[in-house]
Amino acid sequence: MKKALAYVFIIIGLVFLSGCSFFTSMTDDEIKSQTESLVIKAGSQLVIKPTVLGFGAGIKALLSDNQGVKTVTFENYLPDDSFKFSWQAKQRIETEESKEKQAEYYEQYGETAIGERVPLPPEPDYYSKDLIGLIEVSNLGQQDSLLLPELWSEGDFLTSENGIIFISNQVYNLLLSAKQAELKLGLSDSVVSKLKFYSYQAEESLNSLKTLVSDQKKTGKDSPYLLKAEDDFDQYKLKINGQTTYIEAIVSHNWFGEFIILNNPENPLVLKITPNPIAVSNDFNYKSLFGYQVTDIEL
């Protein structure tokens, strides 16, 4: 309980430190104009940073030495159709010994009776490595899932199964009209099996996700993927071409957390994901797969 409350206070602090803002001198028309003009093209760059709850390690380790920060450079982008970009980052990679310890822990304590005391899981051990990759997406207009930056792997990754960090116009329009839409996290077996690197925690999270979806269906509850949009748009702080500005964003939520999406049908970019504290608790091992925000765009 105390741990969950701590996560809540961290999230509240992040709202005031970055991302959405409650105060701006820009008029609504200026913000709308800025939003409409924000269209990705060949040569555009994004800076994507992990949020504090995006990893299982401590805050100091996460924020030091630009760990996990990805620079994305687009080779092409066709709205609601396809795109291709290269990316580079300095990434923390879990050691093989650490993976073995994690596997041993969850094999021993993965299924314990409610109320039974178990030791805390071992802290993951990482080493730093410079990563370079390329992602190419086709059939974007048919996608209803994402692939979180923490799961991107080195080398070429070609897919027609998800939008990576973009939603399709179909999902975008449903969020505007019906105020809800299904948005998956792209953790299907067919996608995960193509990744050249994912931690033991990622594999465990995929298994936990399958169980969660199955349980929700059995009980008749809303799918954990069901994304519900707030009635009003929000203002999201962003650097565009080196200048701090604000754009209009759709704020939406599902079981996994909060999703902030650029309100532009030509560029429905998922700007930020902040995890639900429940989704990153020890009961659901999702903390290694979540949390990022786009902080800078060069057009």
- pLDDT tens digits for range 143-191: 889 988 877 888 899 988 889 999 999 999 999 999 999 998 766 544 5
Average per-residue pLDDT in the chain?
80
CA distances from 198 to 14, 52, 189 (A): 27, 20, 13
Least confident of 14-23, 237-246, 282-291: 14-23
- pTM of the complete model: 0.74
Of the pLDDT bands very low, low, confident and very high (cuts 50, 70, 90), residue 255 is confident
258 pLDDT more than 80: yes
192 pLDDT more than 90: no
206 pLDDT more than 70: no
4 pLDDT more than 60: no
Q: What does the block give as tokens for 53?
A: 């709850």
Distance of CA 196 to the CA centre of its chain: 19
Of the pLDDT bands very low, low, confident and very high (cuts 50, 70, 90), residue 113 is confident
pLDDT of residue 207: 63
CB 38 within 8 A of CB 264: yes
- For 166-231, what is the HEC assignment? ECCHHHHHHHHHCCEEECECCCCHHHHCCCCCCCHHHHHHHHHHHHHHHHHHHHCCCCCCEEEECC
What mean pLDDT is predicted for residues 243-271?
Answer: 95
Q: Percentage of residues in the chain with pLDDT exceeding 70? A: 70
Domain count, the chain: 1
Encode pLDDT of 32-89 as tens digits. 999 999 999 999 999 999 875 544 334 444 445 567 799 999 999 999 999 999 999 9
Range of the domain at 62: 2-298
Of the pLDDT bands very low, low, confident and very high (cuts 50, 70, 90), residue 5 is very low
pLDDT of residue 283: 43
pLDDT of residue 23: 53
pLDDT of residue 58: 40
Per DSSP, the three-state class of 50 is strand
pLDDT of residue 257: 85
What mean pLDDT is predicted for residues 20-29?
Answer: 71
123 pLDDT more than 70: yes
pLDDT of residue 226: 92
pLDDT of residue 215: 67
Per DSSP, the three-state class of 100 is helix
